[in-house]
Amino acid sequence: MSSRSEILIVGGGVAGLALATRLGKTLGRQGKICITLVDKSFCHVWKPMLHCFAAGTVMNENDRISFMSQASGNHFEFWPGEVVSIDRAKREVTLSPFNASDGTPVLESRTLNYDAIVLAVGSCANDFGTPGVKENCLFIDNLVEANAFNEKFRMELLKAFAHTSNLDIAIVGGGATGTQLAAELHKSLEIVDPVSLHAFGKEPPKLSITLLQSGARILPAFPEAVSAAAQQELERIGVNVRTSARVAGADQTGFILKDGTHVPATLRVWAAGVKAPEVTRAYGGLSLNRSGQIQVKPNLCSVDDDRIFAMGDCSFIVDDPLPATAQVARQQAIHLAKHLPAWIEQGKEVPSCIFHNKGAIVALGNYNGWAALPGGRVLGGGFMRGLAARMGHIMLYRKHQVELYGWWRGLASIFADRIETFIRPQVRLD
């Protein structure tokens, strides 16, 4: 390898940005290795918060991390764009042309060389080829989509105010994203309630939310006790939870179920299933599973190419599949940050990455929350409405900020957020 090796990280999500930051602070600072991060957007957000951005209960302007700022402060480079092909023989990637928001060309197609490439392009919802879903449904897989949903939600809410009509929303997918989005949307309208009396001189419209889950229970990754308690809590606040409801299609008026039932909905959200982005199929013929995830060895190295690694939601460990969660992605990023330097500098093989399950948390807005800990223990619900679990969910997010910013900037960011809550509206109104 050359004296100045090139590590290319594709995707600035939880795993990608953490890896770029950690490697930049060590090898990048020393000038031994050039670390380059590539992402389609200019900023990072914590994906487990996307449902809050979509509902408008969190102002994402204050929760974005600029890739350019993060790169300049942590000794790595950043280039906007999407990797659309990988030439494994030449060890180079091709980036698609980059256009402004109005379509004006800004950067032409470019190529970047690499000695090692780490793919961390995340995942998206899987529509399983269901007719009408792509054309008639909204998704919240990234910040752009979350903002687009929030815009439509606010406009449909305004229309409902003006016409004194109800607003029907249907969400497909009873996993963490779908259940938490249902709760946050209800919370959003609850916050707007007193505002609407002054702004519009009338009560807010009735918000009808239907959560459709194809399986027998929501939150299937959690213990049955959590699923039952979460469904009870959602129904208590007015969400219509329908399990064993398989969606056969979608149109402009709602969803059609397998049994022929039509579920009317002005806004239709698809939050079911997980698959890798379609672009992974253009990555140099790498072996993929049926969901498009890149097949890797236990050490996160591609089964086809020792210079290509994949981590997070876009990867699939053939011998030991792991769930597509932020916890898994973070641990894999830490593992590669620890062992890639020796692989680059000394040719030492990266050891297997051992996942340590720390449990999982689901928080239904301010209403309730649960933590499923290893060993089957469950915390949450009860008299305190899952306060510890809800606070734990917030603390995970704050920990993520501190890890990227460092202690002082991270704490300053948290303090700034707290100050702004006294100034700005509690929910996005415009």
Six-digit token string for 263: 């579920």
The region of weakest confidence among 12-16, 169-173, 370-374 is 370-374
Same domain, 287 and 245: no
Strands 83-87 and 43-44: unpaired
Same domain, 9 and 42: yes
User: Residue 218 — φ and ψ, nearest 5°?
Assistant: -80, 165
In a domain, 353, yes or no: no
Among the candidates 316, 346, 376, a domain finishes at: 346
Same domain, 203 and 265: yes
Q: Which residues of 60-83 are buried (b: 16+ CB within 10 A; e: fewer)?
A: beebbbebeebbebbbbbbbbbbb
Among the candidates 217, 237, 272, a domain finishes at: 272
C-alpha 347: how far from its chain's center? 34
Among the candidates 307, 322, 346, a domain finishes at: 346
Q: What is the pLDDT of residues 264-302, one digit of tens each?
A: 999 999 999 999 999 999 998 999 999 999 999 999 999
Same domain, 28 and 116: yes
Residue 190 has pLDDT above 90, yes or no: no
Six-digit token string for 396: 């995970």
Q: How many alpha carbons fall within 13 Å on the CB side of residue 380?
A: 29
Q: What is the pLDDT of residues 208-217, one digit of tens each?
A: 999 999 999 9
In a domain, 352, yes or no: no
Q: What is the pLDDT confidence band of residue 168, given thresholds at 50, 70 and 90?
A: very high
Q: What is the pLDDT of residue 100?
A: 85
Nearest Cα neighbor of 58 from 185, 235, 157 is: 185
The enclosing domain of 113 has a CATH number of: 3.50.50.60
Number of C-beta neighbours around residue 106 at 10 A: 10
Helix, strand, coil % in the chain, rounded to nearest 5 = 35, 25, 40
In a domain, 351, yes or no: no
Sheet holding 92-95, edge to edge: 83-87, 92-95, 110-113
Q: What is the pLDDT of residue 2?
A: 45
The enclosing domain of 261 has a CATH number of: 3.50.50.100
3-state secondary structure at position 268: strand
What is the H or E stretch that residue 249 is in? strand 247-251
Looking at this protein, which amino acid is placed at residue 81?
A: G
Same domain, 183 and 253: yes
Q: What is the pLDDT of residues 316-365, one digit of tens each?
A: 999 899 999 999 999 999 999 999 999 998 899 999 999 999 999 999 98
- Which own/partner contact pairs does 95-100 have at CB distance under 8 Å and 24+ positions apart? 95/38
Same domain, 98 and 60: yes
Same domain, 131 and 75: no
Residue 419 has pLDDT above 90, yes or no: no
CA distance 218 to 181: 13
Q: Count the domains in the chain.
A: 3
CA distance 137 to 182: 16
Average pLDDT over residues 117-146: 95
Contact 401, 269 (CB under 8 A): no
Looking at this protein, which amino acid is placed at residue 256?
A: I
Strands 98-99 and 105-107: antiparallel
Same domain, 412 and 335: no
In a domain, 255, yes or no: yes
Same domain, 224 and 155: yes
Same domain, 89 and 188: no
Q: From its phi and psi, is residue 128 left (phi > 0), alpha (psi between -120 and 50) or beta? A: left
Q: What is the pLDDT of residues 91-112, one digit of tens each?
A: 999 999 988 878 898 999 999 9
Structural domain that includes position 238: 127-272
Same domain, 396 and 366: yes
Q: Which residue has the higher pLDDT, 40 or 411?
A: 40
Same domain, 119 and 141: no
